[in-house]
């Protein structure tokens, strides 16, 4: 455990999800390949979709509406819809199929999340002392995982609420819990989205390097190599 900034115990703990509580990259890779293959086989005449195909559609969508970068769920839905439109589906069919594909993606993505029992135990121990919330740029449905029931609130961005490192999600949590910004402590793996985002809101921050060793623009308040160190940090 390394302390970089002056630190005090907070009143509320917020957690990033992906790559903080579980290794997310293989989960996303599988879900993207699975749904791309399914879409091509079932609805695009057997067409094989490659990663660069999806990336290019996303680039086109972001060029049309830069705010979409804040909403990964809507972006993925619109990717499906554009691929269907380009293949010749009419508007209603595009909507119906894209929604089904989005539901499939979220189901596959959430059901492949495997969280270590010790991580769950650590969160429940912390939950006895602090309100726990999640602040995530992703779209993992915690209700479909063993995280169900742990977090009081889950904050996600959309086209009207900017994603981390914007302070939007943190500010909403601070407002909801009626606390000073520095009484929220955010725990995450990304020096850019989590640490910079938390600092932008005036919150305390903890960088977790269990799954990724991330570079960061600004130093967090505390750095830990394993989530178990949070027990010492927050309960001792």
Does residue 213 register a pLDDT over 90?
no
| Residue 72 pLDDT class (50, 70, 90 cuts) | very high
**Tokens encoding 226:** 């394993």
Does residue 216 register a pLDDT over 80?
no
Domains along the sequence of the chain with CATH: 2-22+115-235 (3.40.50.1000), 26-111 (1.20.120.1600)
Alpha-carbon distances, residue 231 vs 3, 8, 113, 118, 156 (angstroms):
15, 14, 23, 12, 26
pLDDT tens for residues 20-47? 999 999 999 999 999 999 999 999 999 9
- For helices 91-111 and 72-87, what crossing angle results, to 10°? 130
- Stated pTM of the model: 0.91
Mean of pLDDT over the chain:
95
**The pLDDT value given to residue 219:** 93
Query: How far apart are the C-alpha atoms of 2 and 135, rounded to whole Å?
Result: 23
**The pLDDT value given to residue 80:** 97
**The pLDDT value given to residue 217:** 74
């Amino acid at each position: 455990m390394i302390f970089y900034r002056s630190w005090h115990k907070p009143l509320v703990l917020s957690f990033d999800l992906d790559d903080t509580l579980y290794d997310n990259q293989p989960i996303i890779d599988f879900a993207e390949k699975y749904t791309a293959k399914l879409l091509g086989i079932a609805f695009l005449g057997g067409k094989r979709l490659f990663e660069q195909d999806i990336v290019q559609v996303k680039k086109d969508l972001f060029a049309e509406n830069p705010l979409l970068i804040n909403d990964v769920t809507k972006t993925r839905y619109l990717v499906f819809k554009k691929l269907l439109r380009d293949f010749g589906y009419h508007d209603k069919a595009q909507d119906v199929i894209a929604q089904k594909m989005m539901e499939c993606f979220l189901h596959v993505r959430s059901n492949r999340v495997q969280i270590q029992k010790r991580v769950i135990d650590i969160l429940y121990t912390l939950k006895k002392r602090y309100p726990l919330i999640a602040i995530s740029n992703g779209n993992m449905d915690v209700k479909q995982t063993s995280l169900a029931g742990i977090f009081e609130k889950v904050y996600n961005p959309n086209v009207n609420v900017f994603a981390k490192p914007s302070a939007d999600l943190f500010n909403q949590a601070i407002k909801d819990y009626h606390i000073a910004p520095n009484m929220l402590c955010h725990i995450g793996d990304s020096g850019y989205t989590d640490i910079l985002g938390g600092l932008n809101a005036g919150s305390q921050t903890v960088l977790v390097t269990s799954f990724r060793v991330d570079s960061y623009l600004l130093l967090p308040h505390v750095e830990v190599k394993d989530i178990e160190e949070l027990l010492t940090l927050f309960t001792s």
